[in-house]
Amino acid sequence: MGESNIRKIISIIILSLLCFSTFSSAVSFTNLQLKPVIKANPNQNYTHTVFGGLATAQICGPCNNWSKNIYNVYNSGNYDFQYASMVIFDEYGSILNYEALNWSNSYNITSFPVTIFDGDFQRIVGDNLDQLPGALDACGNRSVPNITANITCTWIENATIDVNISIQNNEDLQYNGRIEAYITEFISRYKTSVGIPYHFGFLDFAFNENISINTNETYTNDIIWNGNEQYNAHGDNYSDIKQNNIHVILVVYNNSNGFVDETVFFTFPNTPPYAPINPYPADGEIDVDLNVNLTWNCSDPDEDNLTYDVYFGTINSPPLVKSNILHQSMTLELFQ
């Protein structure tokens, strides 16, 4: 018998959006949604990475278009910013996330969508894409204190994450601020009013507290965040989160003005699936019925859904005979 190989299907799409440059993005056939291509060196030489909190709701019509627009600008890599989609209400107008609601109340948000940049240094009300470049530039070109933040995360399995942070004060005076660490999903479990998942959908805060750092000293902290023990307003926990769908954003706010001084993030890499095992019939088996059902076993360390390509033939590097198979089996008659 020939061999069967497996791969996660990834295709490249090139898009052009308004006045922004073209960009390339990966599409997962599993989710049929764009996944981020985060560039390390965006074009702007900002003083810090800007942070945006997107106040939104599943019942909100314009929120779908704004979610798409802000994500496309983010995904272009041309602007140095991070953001979290704070989905506050569900499709019926009921509270979905109390932490997101408390966050929006702190900025007196009464309509959707509203995006708060750098702790309300800039604010965009509604779906106004033309305002986005100016808002990002205004935030990114501010003078900010000289602090250095870092975040690392370790996946402990069973929806549990060890979040480790450090913030170094390089100033001559004590630094007083507040930290928020946003646990988000690349592809959110929450969808817009037209059924498209949000990006960077907020789940919970890993950190949300005040800090004080003496000059030339470093603040460090570590927390175990367990998705099994955190719940949304519907009483659903986050035990089903997947490692490679988690994006954690650490934001440092200045107590004197409430504005953002530093933003850093951590994202888990996507690991490849394991090699297929236990093919049936076995490799080299003879006298096999032509109508036999071919089967194999395979799994993925990130628990992603998989698709399969099957190669079949008597030569080395046999030809591809079937691609994008959703199950771990197929009938031999497909080769005839």
- Provide the sign of the torsion angle of the four alpha carbons 207, 208, 209, 213, taken in this order: positive
Which tokens sit at 32?
A: 């049929």
Decide which of 2.60.40.10, 1.10.3720.10, 3.40.50.20, 2.40.50.140 is the CATH code for 31-267.
2.60.40.10
Residues 6+ apart with CB under 8 A from 265: 82, 151, 247, 248, 249, 250
User: For residue 16, which phi and psi values (nearest 5 degrees)?
Assistant: -125, 125
Q: Which pLDDT tens digit goes with each residue over 288-333?
A: 777 778 888 888 776 777 888 888 777 888 888 888 888 888 776 6
**Residue boundaries of the structural domains of the chain:** 31-267, 271-335
pLDDT at 277 over 70: yes
User: Half-sphere exposure of 272 toward its Cβ, with a 13 Å CA cutoff?
Assistant: 6
Q: Of 326 and 143, which is predicted with more confidence? A: 143
Tokens in use for 155?
């996946």
Residue 35 has pLDDT above 60, yes or no: no
Q: How far is CA 223 from CA 105, 129, 165, 206, 269, in A?
A: 26, 37, 9, 7, 21
Supply the pLDDT for residue 250: 98
Model confidence pTM above 0.85: no
Mean pLDDT of the chain: 85
pLDDT digits (tens, 9 = 90+) for 42-74: 557 999 999 999 999 999 999 999 999 999 999
- For the chain, how big is the Rg over CA atoms in Å? 23
- Average pLDDT of the residues in 216-232: 98
Name 141's Cβ contacts closer than 8 Å, sequence gap at least 6: 46, 47
